[in-house]
Amino acid sequence: MNQSKVRRIVGKYEIGRTIGEGAFAKVKFARNIENGQPVAIKIFDKDKVLKHKLSEQIKREIATMKLIKHPNVVRLYEVMASKTKIFIVMEFVTGGELFDKIVSHGRMQEDEARKYFQQLINAVDYCHSRGVYHRDLKPENLLLDASGNLKVSDFGLSALSQQVQMYALIYANPGGKVELLQTLMCQDDGLLHTTCGTPNYVAPEVINDRGYDGAAADLWSCGVILFVLLAGYLPFDDSNLMNLYKKISSAEFTCPPWISFKAMKLIAQILDPNPVNRITIPMVLKDEWFKKHYKPPVFDEKDEINLDDVEAVFKDSEEYHVMENKEQQQPTPMNAFELISMSRGLNLGNLFDANQDFKRETRFTSKMPANEIISKIEEAAKPLGFDVHKKNYKMRLENMKSGRKGNLNVATEVFQVAPSLHMVEVRKAKGDTLEFHKFYKNLSTSLQDVVWKTEEDMQEMK
């Protein structure tokens, strides 16, 4: 590799490829220069945050993640800021989303589903013990590490109990103004009052907008997830939102016959539309089906919680800023460390696997020059109805026609693996996952001459 190329450094981290993208933030793979540790860094643009009045939500997300230190929750390491950006440095989880596992393999056997459900309940129970309610639990927010252990992520819609809000406020601003988490949704009745989350996983009391108990609402979402793990499909689903809400409000669902009676009984107790009658997490922990092969989590949480940097990242003073180098203007060089990190189980053979069905991202290699690859993708995408936006060796493809979940947006980036070899990542940035797979199949047909084929591949095609 050409070592003279400029690297992007933020503080003590070398920033790499984009591994996730939302409306207001990007998640980048990064490496700690001091110890080589891989991390994920969530990057917010300060101007966008202020323009859309997201400061309090981001402060809440940071404070929440700092309060939670559990083996089944994605860990937050530190928070930094430059003059223009906010950086949340988090644990890098390599095993993908539980959502991808469900979509690609379908329903799970009960022992496997139970293991994930046990880890989910462990994490949620711990969060609730800290006064933290997630409010957006779904398979897309459940990640898997290299060992197949579940990690709860994305606390962007979380809420804190009133007691924990005051603790966080005082801790972050001792003796000062109480303003860190003012916008949290707890009112004097101790209930939450903001309707949020993903419709199919939301509890009926959240939809009814009369205030709800965060713990009971989170457990309902866990029940929906357990149903999906065991059945392979959603218990409540309808293209019409009002019909969907009616089904949820009356708990109108039927368990498939392959689910055992004991599992059905637990699901029915969790998916009780009346939160007063709904089973609680302490009751779930004593359930006969749940307890089979149960292993309580073992972990150390002695580290002190310091929330000083939550406010500091929003201050304009250069005293609180880290140095940020400019991003390079040529294909990002990818070293062996990053290649290995992209491959599940550290198996490089998976990296160039042709079987990419039902993923939110896919990759292929090419021996073409980077400029030609970009041009070929643009030529293939436009006839499919996509508007193309290019910046250096990155592209955003936006479908002008709205789909099931809005306009499908696809992000692509070209990386240099070797002087004559590039890797191309094609990733869903926004929209429906199944629509992304349909798009990629059409795109790949048009890129047959771009993809590098080994001699073995050529033999298989004959």
Report d(CA 37, CA 30) in Å as an integer.
Answer: 9
Contact 445, 387 (CB under 8 A): no
* DSSP-derived pairing of the beta strands 38-45 and 132-133: unpaired
Angle, vertex CA 165, rays to CA 159 and CA 166, nearest 5: 170
Phi, psi dihedral angles at 404 (to 5 degrees): -65, -35
Contact indicator for 149, 75 with CB cutoff of 8 Å: no
The verdict on whether 47 is a catalytic residue reads no
Three-class SS of residue 361?
A: strand
* C-alpha distance across the termini of the chain, in Å: 35
Does residue 138 contact residue 225 with C-beta atoms inside 8 Å? yes
* Residue 399, beta-bridge partner list: 386
| Residue 80, CA distances (Å) to 62, 119, 140, 215, 312 in order | 11, 30, 26, 31, 8
Q: Where are the alpha helices (DSSP H) in 253-307?
A: 261-270, 281-285, 288-291
Taking CA atoms, 399 is separated from 89, 137, 381, in Å, by 32, 28, 9
Q: What is the DSSP string of 95-134?
A: S-BHHHHHHHH-S--HHHHHHHHHHHHHHHHHHHHTTEE-
Given 47, 100, 111, 136, the catalytic residue: 136
Cα separation, 222 vs 139, whole angstroms: 10
With 0-12 CB in 10 A as exposed, 13-18 as middle and 19+ as buried, what is 323? exposed
User: What is the rounded CA–CA span in Å between residue 150 and residue 128?
Assistant: 17
Query: b vs e for 85-113, b when ≥16 Cβ sit within 10 Å of the residue's Cβ?
Result: bbbbbbbbbbbbbbbbbbbeeebbebeeb
* Separation between Cα atoms, residue 198 and residue 237, nearest integer Å: 12
Is 42 annotated to bind a ligand? Reply is yes
Residues forming the annotated binding site?
42
Positions marked catalytic: 136
Residues forming the annotated binding site for ATP?
42
